[in-house]
């Protein structure tokens, strides 16, 4: 990995082995060539995913693309994806982190349900690796080396260098099932933000202050952008560990009561896990909350694919959908946590 991302200050990361041992990821993907240049932009990856959906550009009525790693601040991510297509259509660009792919899906779902369109293409995608390259941290590591014998960057930055992957997934949503093969009917999509209760946990183009508030890149002098690695993606690991799992159990229990959901009726549980470190914790939390889903029903490809943020749930769903395992009438429950300011999304699907 460091042969692609580089070594900060010319020295191997002190956090890499610890993080990799805990997250259990064995394979990941970068949209990088060996020399550090991009093989695909974020928008390029979405186009590759859309090509696999079997729908012509002229037929797409709505395009909704979520990501936490846009190629630029403006135009919007979906506008750039649309710019690589050749037909007019409605577009929307949900912003955020892991939940942005589900938010994109929900906009398509509600648009079809409202009768505004009869189809929508939605996606989740991430291009994180360029943000994790050593060159982005060299200025900060030199500043730190003036104070200590070895250059280093804070764990909240180095941690994410060994967690994240690049990739994209897309879904075709329609007002009727496939004519050939199975389809997945959306029973409901639920999402909830807890930003009013918790401070920021994962962030980019900003820095977190001692009082928990966030200082925007706009408040820094340009010379400070590199010295503080302002545009790097960072995470408050302590806040993450104490908060993200309990919130998931709390929210699912609330949904189950309101939707009259019996989790024992779920045939497949697809949890987006940022790390295998959380796998047992999630199981234990759901069980403690009376929402136990036995491990034989779990489906995840984190180990083989890596944590691809907003794209992970699409990539998991695609693998299961094409596995030949699904039978009509089976229920799939999707779970997507987002640590940025703590959000959760759950989706219930029926094979038909």
Tell the burial category of 305 from Cβ atoms under 10 Å away from its Cβ (0-12, 13-18, 19+). Answer: buried
Q: Would you state the pLDDT for residue 171? A: 98
Which residue spans of the chain are classified as CATH 3.40.47.10? Answer: 2-174, 184-351
> 7 vs 332, which has greater pLDDT?
332
Q: Give the pLDDT mean for 258-285.
A: 95
- Of 37-51, 214-228, 333-347, the one with minimum mean pLDDT is 214-228
Tens digits of per-residue pLDDT, 216-257? Answer: 999 999 988 888 888 888 888 889 888 999 999 999 999 999
Res. 140: pLDDT tops 70: no
**Model confidence band, residue 143 (pLDDT cutoffs 50, 70, 90):** low
Per DSSP, 95 falls in state B
Alpha helices (H) along 186-338? 222-227, 237-259, 279-288, 302-305, 312-321
- Of 67-81, 127-141, 336-350, the one with minimum mean pLDDT is 127-141
Q: Would you state the pLDDT for residue 17? A: 87
Tell the burial category of 282 from Cβ atoms under 10 Å away from its Cβ (0-12, 13-18, 19+). Answer: buried
Residue 253 token pair: 């229990």
DSSP E strands: which ranges in 109-263? 119-126, 167-174, 184-193, 202-203, 206-208, 214-216, 234-235
Q: Would you state the pLDDT for residue 228? A: 81
Q: Would you state the pLDDT for residue 18? A: 87
- Say how far apart CA 205 and CA 218 lie, in whole Å: 9
Q: Give the pLDDT mean for 47-56.
A: 96
% residues pLDDT > 70 (the chain):
95
**Model confidence band, residue 81 (pLDDT cutoffs 50, 70, 90):** very high
Q: Would you state the pLDDT for residue 117? A: 98
HSE on the CB side for 349, CA within 13 Å?
A: 26
| Distance (Å) of CA 305 to CA 158, 165, 168, 248, 330 | 20, 8, 11, 23, 25
- Say how far apart CA 260 and CA 265 lie, in whole Å: 11
Q: Would you state the pLDDT for residue 225? A: 87
Q: Would you state the pLDDT for residue 227? A: 81
342, 99 contact by CB (below 8 A): no
Q: Would you state the pLDDT for residue 60? A: 98
> 45 vs 12, which has greater pLDDT?
45
Tell which residue, 286, 277, 324, has the closest CA to residue 25: 277
Q: Which residues contact 100 (CB under 8 A, 6 or more apart)?
A: 66, 67, 68, 94, 124, 310
What sign has the CA pseudo-torsion 40, 44, 49, 54?
negative
% residues pLDDT > 90 (the chain):
74
Query: Which residue is listed with tokens 């997250």?
Result: 23
Q: Give the pLDDT mean for 210-217.
A: 92
**Model confidence band, residue 146 (pLDDT cutoffs 50, 70, 90):** very low
Q: Give the pLDDT mean for 328-346.
A: 97
89, 64 contact by CB (below 8 A): no
Q: What CATH superfamily is the domain 184-351?
A: Thiolase/Chalcone synthase (3.40.47.10)
Q: Would you state the pLDDT for residue 149? A: 43
- Say how far apart CA 97 and CA 178 lie, in whole Å: 30
Q: Which one of 3.40.250.10, 3.30.1330.120, 3.40.47.10, 3.40.50.20 gives the CATH number of domain 2-174?
A: 3.40.47.10
| Distance (Å) of CA 273 to CA 118, 148, 222, 276, 299 | 32, 35, 36, 7, 11
First to last CA, the chain: 41
- Of 7-11, 137-141, 263-267, 285-289, the one with minimum mean pLDDT is 137-141
Q: Give the pLDDT mean for 167-178.
A: 97
Strand 62-67 and strand 119-126: the pairing is parallel
What is the helix (H) or strand (E) element at residue 80, kind and residue range? helix 77-82
Instruction: Write down the mean pLDDT value for the chain.
Output: 92
């Amino acid at each position: 990995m460091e042969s692609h991302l580089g070594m900060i200050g010319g020295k191997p990361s002190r956090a890499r082995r610890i993080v990799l041992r805990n997250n259990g990821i064995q394979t990941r993907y970068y949209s990088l060539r060996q020399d550090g240049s991009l093989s695909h932009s974020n928008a390029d990856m979405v186009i590759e995913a859309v090509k696999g959906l079997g729908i012509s550009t002229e037929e797409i009525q709505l395009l909704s693309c979520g990501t936490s790693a846009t190629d630029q601040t403006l135009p919007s991510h979906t506008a750039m994806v649309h710019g690589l297509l050749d037909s007019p259509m409605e577009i929307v660009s949900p912003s955020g982190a892991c939940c942005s792919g589900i938010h994109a899906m929900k906009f398509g779902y509600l648009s079809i349900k409202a009768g505004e369109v009869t189809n929508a293409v939605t996606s989740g995608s991430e291009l994180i690796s360029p943000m994790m390259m050593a060159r982005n941290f060299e200025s900060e590591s030199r500043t730190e080396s003036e104070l200590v014998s070895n250059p280093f960057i804070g764990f909240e930055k180095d941690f994410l260098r060994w967690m994240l992957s690049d990739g994209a997934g897309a879904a075709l949503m329609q007002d009727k099932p496939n004519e050939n093969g199975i389809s997945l009917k959306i029973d409901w999509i639920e999402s909830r933000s807890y930003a009013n209760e918790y401070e920021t946990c994962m962030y980019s183009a900003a820095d977190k202050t001692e009082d928990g508030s966030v200082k925007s890149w706009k408040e820094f002098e340009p010379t400070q952008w590199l010295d503080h690695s302002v545009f790097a993606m960072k995470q408050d690991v302590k806040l993450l560990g104490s908060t993200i799992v309990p919130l998931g159990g709390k929210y699912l229990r609330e949904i189950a009561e309101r939707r009259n959901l019996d989790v024992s009726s779920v045939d497949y549980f697809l949890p987006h896990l940022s790390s295998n470190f959380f796998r047992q914790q999630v199981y234990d939390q759901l069980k403690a909350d009376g929402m136990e889903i036995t491990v034989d029903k779990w489906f995840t490809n984190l180990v083989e694919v890596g944590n691809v943020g907003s794209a992970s749930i699409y990539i998991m769903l695609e693998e299961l959908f094409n596995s030949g395992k699904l039978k009509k009438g089976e229920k799939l429950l999707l779970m997507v946590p987002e640590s940025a300011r703590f959000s959760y999304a759950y989706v219930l699907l029926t094979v038909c």
